Amino acid sequence: MLDKFLKTFHLSLNNFMGYLPALLGGIVCFIATLFIANFLSKLSSKYALRRTKDTLIANFIGKIVWAVFFILGTVLALGILGLGTISNKILAGAGITTFVVGFALKDIGENFLAGLILAFSRPFHVGSLIECEDVKGVVKNMTLRQTTIESDEGKIILVPNSMIIKNPLSRYKDVNDLSQQFSINISPADAPKAIALIKDTVHDFDHVLQTPEKPVKVIAEALNGDKVKVTVVFWFDTVNFKFSFSEKKSEIMLAVFEKLREADYSFSG
């Protein structure tokens, strides 16, 4: 039994020693593949960024380059290890695997394809003011899966790219087009003087735009029972405005209500 064990051990050891160069070569090839793939991915991303000035496209190209070299290096490493038949089966089954994974991760794949469309069509950029469905705000970041938007209330909203592709998209020319508004119901007898008072009150606030293109507007829109519905519209100077839109808007509304009370005007929200 001992002799049989020793013979088996020596045979296994000899086989392992004979296979060791291929094993080390495969490991070295795989490690080198990772380094080369990472290096070429970063290099191609930097080059694409210099040429396109677009981080989304640059990141996409970098990932594609990494994936191509990783697959080629992995197949080569398997060939060095003597597992060429396995690598051939992997390549042959890639189509089936892609179909199964694509079906299981349909939503993720849909967002990814939508991200590719946005990357090359570029309907908006980081810093653009957009509106899609019920979401309106400034674009803060873009990836191949989702777009990050900051609303005027200061909320950070992660919007799937497929939603942007499927639904109507509005892009404003200027980030200052992010208007603020609120409504007040005022007695018809007090409406003319109250409108002038509201406009002066809003004007007194810093960071509220007062330009011919974006003036403070106080508009009598409709008659609600015995009250006139008045809508107040104004814009913030977002270039110099560093506060929360919602907090500043609330401060303006409270100031308007206080001025109307001091003037003894009849109003409701």
pTM of the model: 0.50
Angle between helices 84-92 and 55-80 (to 10 degrees): 140
Q: pLDDT 10s digit of each residue in the chain, 269 long? A: 656 655 665 566 566 566 567 777 778 888 888 888 888 888 888 887 777 677 777 777 888 888 888 888 887 877 777 765 555 555 555 555 554 445 444 566 677 778 778 877 778 888 788 888 888 888 888 887 888 888 766 678 898 888 888 888 888 776 655 678 888 888 888 888 888 899 999 888 888 888 887 888 888 877 766 788 888 888 877 666 666 677 788 888 899 899 989 888 888 76
Query: Sign (positive/negative) of CA torsion 53, 150, 183, 234?
Result: negative
pLDDT at 104: 46
d(CA 240, CA 244): 12
- Tell me yes or no: is domain 2-104 CATH 1.10.287.1260: yes
Q: Which residue has the tokens 């200027």?
A: 174
Fold adopted by 124-173? SH3 type barrels. (2.30.30)
Q: b vs e for 163-172, b when ≥16 Cβ sit within 10 Å of the residue's Cβ?
A: bbbeeeeeeb
**Alpha helices, H only, 53-167:** 55-80, 84-92, 94-104, 106-121, 161-166
**Which pLDDT value is given to residue 101?**
47
What is the DSSP code (8-state) at residue 75? H
| CB-based contacts of 179, cutoff 8 Å, min separation 6 | 214, 233, 234, 235
pLDDT of residue 68: 83
Intervals of CATH 1.10.287.1260 along the chain: 2-104
Comma-separated ranges of CATH 3.30.70.100 domains in the chain: 176-268
- pLDDT value of position 243: 62
Please give the Cα distance from 182 to 261 (Å, whole number): 17
Q: How far apart are CA 49 and CA 143, in angstroms?
A: 15
How confident is the model at residue 8, as a pLDDT? 64
Q: Hey, what CATH topology would domain 176-268 get?
A: Alpha-Beta Plaits (3.30.70)
| Cβ burial, residue 54 (10 Å; 0-12/13-18/19+) | middle
How many Cα atoms are found within 13 Å in the side-chain-facing hemisphere of 65?
20
- CA nearest neighbour of 169 among 223, 116, 122: 122
Query: How high is the pLDDT of residue 139?
Result: 86
Residue 109: predicted pLDDT? 67
| 3-class SS of residue 24 | helix
Q: Is residue 167 within 8 Å of residue 207, measured between CB atoms?
A: no
